[in-house]
Chains A and B, each alone.
Chain A
Amino acid sequence: DTGVSQDPRHKITKRGQNVTFRCDPISEHNRLYWYRQTLGQGPEFLTYFQNEAQLEKSRLLSDRFSAERPKGSFSTLEIQRTEQGDSAMYLCASSSDFRANTDTQYFGPGTRLTVL
């Protein structure tokens, strides 16, 4: 299996701009997670998809944030009207209902967002 991939790896934007990140999970993994990690901290959960369905969203996910997984494969995370507090590493992870160790999440390299 190829691992989880994320694009872009780095994004610098000006406050007020919109940004979109993409995550491609491990092939055939039906669960996909987004986390946010600020410097020196552990990742915090943002949202979770099982196939196309977005099953859970954190209170951290304000109305400026939206995530989609239209065909149950790749996912996008969009942040509208970015703020400096959105600067963080955005991590994507995937897992499977159908393979051994279904509880184990595998992480991508992350997208580092800097809002100026």
Chain B
Amino acid sequence: AQTVTQSQPEMSVQEAETVTLSCTYDTSESNYYLFWYKQPPSRQMILVIRQEAYKQQNATENRFSVNFQKAAKSFSLKISDSQLGDTAMYFCAFYNAGNMLTFGGGTRLMVKP
């Protein structure tokens, strides 16, 4: 079974600064996908970014980028130029084809003005 660990329960960052959220996972699979989802307070889960394990290039989506280290089984999310609207719970998730998502426990991010 896969496990996903987010070691930072809470983080805060000043508006316009950069923050990195950590995620590690454990799997014996070689083909899989990794995701970061954002869940704002009382709002629904939104996909932030996805990474295919077979790709060496790190995924980027505007201000969001990942540092994917397959050998270390590490998948961190970097948010640049943080905005107040980035305040949310962030979940790292693992998926291998045809199966369910396995989520980490989440990191609560607060962006301060």
Contact = CB atoms under 8 A, between A and B. Distances in A.
A72 interface: no
Contacts of B106: 40-42
B47 A106 contact: yes
Contacts, number: 49
A48 B95 CA distance: 13
A23 interface: no
A5 to B, nearest CB: 10
A103 B103 contact: no
Contacts of B19: none
A43 B102 CA distance: 8
Contact of B100 (A45, A104, A106): A45
Interface of A: 33, 35, 40-45, 48, 56, 58, 91, 93, 101, 103-110
Given A58-B100, A109-B44, 9 more contacts: A42-B105, A43-B91, A48-B100, A103-B97, A104-B35, A104-B50, A105-B95, A107-B44, A109-B43
